[in-house]
Structure 1
């Protein structure tokens, strides 16, 4: 089997190299926008051929000096990515390509050929690579990379990405390995939540602390208030001032640091779960639907009025759910299980948090916050653990195993119908 992975490392370019990378990213974004204008001119989807678009890009790089800053291979990679975006749209996997603005789009430069990278490790902490029209750029060496040195595999390309804390390089690698044997580990059910990040049916929950330290949270709040004050003094329609832009950059750096900590926890946690368990059962959740803004609820005391605090309370819950990034966690767990011979099962999430895992009776009043108390059999426990046990039972039915006990589990019955 071919295993393809991306390895991100932080670049340490000089000021001149940073300026060159910024110019290349702006030129690559301009190529995308020109292709988009050409393809959607006059409101119609023209879809020029690859040959015509490639010839137009070559001619533009000759006639326009600032477009010649982007390497020819990177410009061709923009064309390939743009064509793939239309293919994904027509096949129903994504929305249509859109115009990329300078303020909101991500600055990227693609290096499609891995043999031109010339990656070389310098010492324990540093390495270098070759970037076309920029030169040799150093990057932090934080772990082995397939295809570099004695590591098996090969580099298939790279992409330079500008994050809030600086430029990074993402190496695309490919490793050929034998098909893994079936994982001998046990089955476990996982309930994803906010109070407990990952509640496991066997009790080995996975939790984490806040992604930001107290001092960082105080600084973030102070910067957000400063940005709000500066925005109120900002003239409508005028570009943001340098002070406001600098405040936004500081906020982005703090949030990017928290995101890196969250991603590191997700990788460590999913790796440990994939090594220990052979079958992992999770709920088939649609996070986009769960974090929608609630509909206005009529106020019973004032006819024609609506309750105003519902949206505010739901907004806080939505932020907590998005801060956990449960979709990314399941994505990491899926490919890591596949590489180790494990299996990921998705079961419907309906009634898993309202059903007693011991007797099978269901009542919404059983759950009060994080406490679960069944009035039928008297079982008392953590609500997330109870849901994880129900998810585990539903996964046993989907996987083809018998239910651990004959009980009226609604989640199990729904999975029997789905199976």
Structure 2
């Protein structure tokens, strides 16, 4: 089967190349904004890709700094913008908006043949970036280039992206692989949380420490206070000084370091889970609704706004959606399956008796069933993972579920417990 993956590496640019790539990034962002303005001004009956394409060609001829964007990259901006509207019309995303100067800069290289990727040594490679020249990058993964490349195994394109620690290139790699054999590992339910990032229904946990060390967290707080003080002393409408820009860059670098550590942990944890289990069940959470602000309106202000803001930051810091995305494609590569089950009451229901009893969730970490005929007690996240496993076994196809061992295979409770009323 055909597999498409992205491979991201850091570019090592010379000072002149850095200036050129920065100009391309700003030009691509400006082109997006000009397209957005033109789209809004054009009557609906006259909007078309051909009209927008003609506008791009004229703009690149007349405006020098737009001419810094390669022609194919400019066409890619138009295609990406149109695709954003298609996703909006189909309800998959919000409508495209104006891109701020602080937004993430990116430049497309649509054709893989233009990259001319070569390996220089065991740890270094180089590629061709249009209007920039040959650029060195760290060779961290074998790419299908040179004699190893063919119609089915090749680099189909790339994208330059600006991160806090410099410019990176993301290669789009297409490879032909054999269909994976069915993964006969056991099944498990996983509950995602804050105190316990991943709680498994076999009773184990996957945990991590703080993303930033104590000294790094203190430095981040100090930089944020400095930035706030400098903002307060700035006159309305005044542009940022070089010193406050430098402070913002230092804050970005620290936050990017925390993000890289979180990504590293997520990759290691999800790879281990995908290697071990053949079927994984998770809650089908609407995370965007969970992290909404509790401010409310002037007429109906919200309650516990500061506490809710702290919870929202914790949820966003765990990146639950990214964890599920990683698990999904890694399980598929290994012949496993991931199922999403309904989330309501998984943390309130006792898995042992199947009842929802008021007061059973004693705290964020402890669950004690108040049903007089049960009395099960244990970690609240583990109980939720048991409920996720039960829901997965009840809803997933039986030919997949029945072929595997489960941590609750000896569970003697009622399989239809999800329909039981609240016990008082």
TM-score (norm 2): 0.89
* Contact 2:295 2:302 survives alignment (8 Å): no
Distance 1:122 1:289, change over 3 A: same
- 1:9-408 to structure 2, matched below 5 A, reads 9-41=9-41, 44-45=43-44, 48-103=47-102, 105-147=103-145, 150=148, 153-294=153-294, 310-367=304-361, 368-375=363-370, 376=372, 377-399=374-396, 400=398, 404=409, 405=411, 407-408=413-414
Comparing 178-187 with 146-155, which one deviates more in the overlay?
146-155
Q: Report the 3-state secondary structure (helix = DSSP H, G, I; strand = E; otherwise coil) of the residue aligned with 1:109.
A: strand
Q: Distance in 1 between matches of 2:21 and 2:294?
A: 43
Q: Report the 3-state secondary structure (helix = DSSP H, G, I; strand = E; otherwise coil) of the residue aligned with 1:352.
A: coil
TM-score (norm 1): 0.90
Q: Distance in 2 between matches of 1:47 and 1:98?
A: 20
Structure 1 position 279, deviation (Å): 0.7
Structure 1 position 305, deviation (Å): 11
Comparing 332-341 with 188-197, which one deviates more in the overlay?
332-341
Structure 1 position 11, deviation (Å): 0.8
Q: Report the 3-state secondary structure (helix = DSSP H, G, I; strand = E; otherwise coil) of the residue aligned with 1:138.
A: strand
How many residues are treated as equivalent by the alignment? 405
Q: Distance in 1 between matches of 2:140 and 2:347?
A: 41
* Contact 1:348 1:411 survives alignment (8 Å): no
Task: Name 2:405's counterpart in structure 1.
Answer: none
Structure 1 position 60, deviation (Å): 2.5
Q: Report the 3-state secondary structure (helix = DSSP H, G, I; strand = E; otherwise coil) of the residue aligned with 1:96.
A: coil
Structure 1 position 139, deviation (Å): 1.1
Distance 1:413 1:5, change over 3 A: farther
Distance 1:149 1:216, change over 3 A: farther
- Structure 2: unaligned runs, 5 residues or longer: 403-407
Comparing 348-357 with 398-407, which one deviates more in the overlay?
398-407
Structure 1 stretches of 4+ moved >6 Å: 304-308
Distance 1:58 1:296, change over 3 A: closer
Structure 1 position 113, deviation (Å): 0.3
Structure 1 position 364, deviation (Å): 3.9
Q: Distance in 2 between matches of 1:95 and 1:242?
A: 34
RMSD: 2.4
Q: Report the 3-state secondary structure (helix = DSSP H, G, I; strand = E; otherwise coil) of the residue aligned with 1:11.
A: strand
Distance 1:46 1:66, change over 3 A: farther
Structure 1 position 59, deviation (Å): 2.7
Distance 1:235 1:387, change over 3 A: same
Comparing 18-27 with 53-62, which one deviates more in the overlay?
53-62
State the Cα deviation string for residues 128-150 of structure 1 (Å, max 9, x = none): 11101101111122233344774
Structure 1 position 409, deviation (Å): 6.6
- Structure 1: unaligned runs, 5 residues or longer: 298-303, 415-419
Q: Report the 3-state secondary structure (helix = DSSP H, G, I; strand = E; otherwise coil) of the residue aligned with 1:7.
A: strand
Distance 1:342 1:58, change over 3 A: same
Q: Report the 3-state secondary structure (helix = DSSP H, G, I; strand = E; otherwise coil) of the residue aligned with 1:123.
A: coil
Q: Report the 3-state secondary structure (helix = DSSP H, G, I; strand = E; otherwise coil) of the residue aligned with 2:9.
A: strand
Structure 1 position 295, deviation (Å): 5.7
Q: Report the 3-state secondary structure (helix = DSSP H, G, I; strand = E; otherwise coil) of the residue aligned with 1:139.
A: strand
* Contact 2:84 2:95 survives alignment (8 Å): yes
* Contact 2:9 2:138 survives alignment (8 Å): yes
Q: Report the 3-state secondary structure (helix = DSSP H, G, I; strand = E; otherwise coil) of the residue aligned with 1:365.
A: coil
* Contact 2:360 2:367 survives alignment (8 Å): yes
State the Cα deviation string for residues 345-383 of structure 1 (Å, max 9, x = none): 111111111122222222241122201112332322111
Structure 1 position 408, deviation (Å): 4.8
Structure 1 position 154, deviation (Å): 0.8
Task: Name 1:301's counterpart in structure 2.
Answer: none
